[in-house]
Amino acid sequence: MMFASGKLIQADWHTTAEGRDMLSCLFTRNKQGLRTFGLLERPPLSAHIEEVHYKIFVSGKSGVGKTCTVAKLSGHDIPKSHIETAGIQTSTCYWPAKVLDMNKVMLFRLQFWDAGEAASKKFDHIMSACTDRVDAILFLFSITDKVSFDELHQQISRLTSSGDNITKLVIATKCDQHALGEVTRKDIRDFEKTWKIPILKVKNILDNNQSDTNDTVYTMNALCEHLWQRDLILAGKLNKPILLPDSETTKTITSEEFI
């Protein structure tokens, strides 16, 4: 559901002294990506910070960049060539965010589930394992593959329903390849208007610059904010999403990023 970003999580918290200090524990020394943590590890943050856990399934056509996107968001090395994921691959990352309704920092533990398309079709238990007790589904498409965008409608209808309480977000991948883009800005606007699901953007490469770090910060904040909104609604603390007026859109993809 599209809603006013920044109403539940402080959008600029990462620029404060507190935010910069905490994020320094999560990013690598050169700030090219997030650090990875083992199964028994936790970021070196205060033990008093409350931790919330979420299971996130990553869905999309083979080759759109699911594994690369998860790797970038979770701090793992981004594959340099496409290799079909064999079975199920899980990756865990942590993200701190300032929750406005509680006026405190929460640590979001996000576990991404990525399944290969061939394995999902061959083994029935793959898809059921990925979607069992899932908190969010990320639907991915590549801006260089119009077919992957057109298949979003079928994927959303197949994996979700109107009353399932699952957070739904769409991520446009390979946004560093503007010249090869096949998905237009109008396509994006029409999709968001029809499905009321925001589209975020991800570059499937690591850039050694501040804009790439800002993209990661925005993507993680947006994901955590939608998950927190879901929890508030389920707990009866929020009757309905804080929607945007019809004349506005979420901060998603700028015009120069699509043809």
At 3 the pLDDT is 64
Given this model, what pLDDT does residue 166 score? 95
**Higher local confidence (pLDDT), 231 or 215:** 231
Give 50 or 240, the one with higher predicted confidence: 50
- 35-52 confidence digits (pLDDT tens): 777 777 788 887 788 999
List, in order, residues 6 or more apart from 115 with CB less than 8 Å away.
57, 85, 87, 88, 89, 126, 127, 130
**Whether domain 56-90+113-257 has CATH 3.40.50.300:** yes
Tell me: pLDDT of 215 over 90.
Answer: no
* pLDDT, tens only, 104-124: 999 999 999 998 777 777 778
- In this predicted model, what pLDDT tens digit does every residue of 53-87 receive, in sequence order? 999 999 999 889 898 899 888 877 777 767 777 78
Block residue for tokens 């570059």: 203
Q: How many CB atoms lie within 10 A of CB 153?
A: 13
Q: How far apart are CA 198 and CA 105, in angstroms?
A: 24
**Residue 242 scores a pLDDT above 60:** no
Who contacts 256 (Cβ-Cβ below 8 Å, separation ≥6)?
A: 178
Structure tokens at 180: 């090869």
Instruction: Tell me the pTM.
Output: 0.85
Q: What angle is formed at CA 224 by the lines to CA 14 and CA 29, rounded to 5 degrees?
A: 40
Residue linked to tokens 């396509």: 187
